[in-house]
């Protein structure tokens, strides 16, 4: 089962800087809390300007990205996007840099996290190209 909720822009930030960002966070399984293994998360980011990187902050969910389980990126046309770097920064932010800028459509950034949060609505901060901020909300079903 996958559970998700689309979101608009985070109003704490400059709306002009985020008007081109639409984000969604998918989880499979969508069960709350720890599971027997890592949980697959997919960040769906729709862009219409050249995009070179994305950073996701999971600290508010008390979870961490597990890059050793692999990171893949694809377009909405199911074409692979080359990743030049995927890492967890010293502050715990998960950062992915694309080998070539992506300019149009949706990007699906697929990776694993240690756990889903407890049931309820939760959000992660997302920063694109180090300057454009938005958030992606995750709803975890019990």
pLDDT band at 97 (very low <50, low <70, confident <90, very high): very high
**Position 107 pLDDT exceeds 80:** yes
Q: Which architecture, in CATH terms, is 15-140?
A: Sandwich (2.60)
pLDDT of 1 higher than 60: no
Q: What is the pLDDT of residue 81?
A: 96
Tell me what the mean pLDDT of segment 91-119 comes to. Answer: 92
What is the pLDDT, as a whole number, of residue 12? 41
CA distance 49 to 103: 5
């Amino acid at each position: 089962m996958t559970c998700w909720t689309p979101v608009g822009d985070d109003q704490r930030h400059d709306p002009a800087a985020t008007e081109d960002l639409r984000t969604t966070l998918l989880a499979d399984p969508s069960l709350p809390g720890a599971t027997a293994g890592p949980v697959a998360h997919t960040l769906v980011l729709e862009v219409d300007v050249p995009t070179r990187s994305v950073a996701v902050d999971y600290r508010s969910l008390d979870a961490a990205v597990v890059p050793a389980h692999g990171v893949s990126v694809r377009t909405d046309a199911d074409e692979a996007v080359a990743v030049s770097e995927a890492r967890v920064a010293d502050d715990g932010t998960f950062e992915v840099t694309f080998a070539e800028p992506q300019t149009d459509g949706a990007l699906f950034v697929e990776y694993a996290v240690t756990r889903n949060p407890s049931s309820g609505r939760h959000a992660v901060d997302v920063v694109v190209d180090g300057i454009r901020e938005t958030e992606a909300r995750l709803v975890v079903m019990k």
